[in-house]
Amino acid sequence: MLFLYREVLGIDISDWNIQALRAKERKHIPVVLTREEVQSVIANLDGIYRLIVKLMYGCGLRMSEVLNLRIKDVDFGFNTIYFWESKSQKDRTLPLPLSIKEELKIQIENVRAIHQEDLKQGFGSVELPHRLDRKYPNAKFETKWQYLFPMRKVSRDPRSGIVRRHHILEATLGRNIRQAAQKTKINKRITSHIFRHSYATHLLQSGIDLRSIQELLGHKSVETTMIYTHVVAEMNRAKVMSPLDM
């Protein structure tokens, strides 16, 4: 209403002495899986989707971040994964989970073989970000620019009409996660983002400071990360014994 009077109607209301307060935004405590529940979901995933979810949980990634990874973003020399853009538009690096290092090497070799076959079939190009294809016209055919988790089949890009191999669809990954969750019979709403919540909470439980977790998650403000302190507080509250049990 104040915006209407000031900006739309152009009425000066500075002398009206209106003591207006903004409504507080409700803070939702995210659902978090225990380490055992994470292991159970992963164990019920098949094929490449198991590796994807391992990487999501191991690095606290959003679904879009893990699916948009390119081969060049994985640095085995420094055991680092690079993220050049994300929801917060902030580039960052994350430590590579060493437990899946060999699996990732095998996956990259599989992608390399698939890409070589695509080139023989007359395909092999990939969509490049930020119009890099204009600056580097041959880069789209290079192996290092290929998606880390490509689709099984090539498809026609509806925007450009080019037949190429895109990354695995978000809907496909989400469906596989839901199916795995149903097999575990865990009575929680399990989505791809729950692994990111679990990652942050488990780091906080293990003693990692909040500022470091903020950097790992790519949050602009530490206030966004502080929601996980509430999650841990709720978990600790569960340790309080009921008088009935005394």
> Domains in the chain and their CATH numbers?
35-232 (1.10.443.10)
At position 80, the amino acid (one-letter code) is T
How does pLDDT run across 129-169, given as a tens digit for each residue?
877 888 888 999 999 999 999 999 999 988 888 899 999 99
| Alpha-carbon distance values, 20 to 2, 25, 26, 45, 230 (Å) | 9, 15, 18, 52, 29
Provide the 10 A C-beta neighbour count for residue 68.
19
The length of the chain is 246
- Which residues are part of the catalytic machinery? 62, 87, 193, 196, 219, 228
Show the low-confidence residues of the chain (pLDDT under 70).
26, 85-90, 234-241, 244, 246
> Which of left, alpha, beta for 186 (phi over 0: left; psi -120 to 50: alpha)?
beta
CA distance 37 to 220: 29
CB 41 within 8 A of CB 188: no
CB 32 within 8 A of CB 231: yes
CA distance 194 to 57: 9
How does pLDDT run across 232-245, given as a tens digit for each residue?
776 666 666 677 67
For residue 33, the SS3 value is coil
CB 148 within 8 A of CB 69: yes
Q: Say if strands 163-164 and 155-156 run parallel, antiparallel, or are unpaired.
A: antiparallel
Nearest to 148 by CA among 118, 104, 113, 116: 104
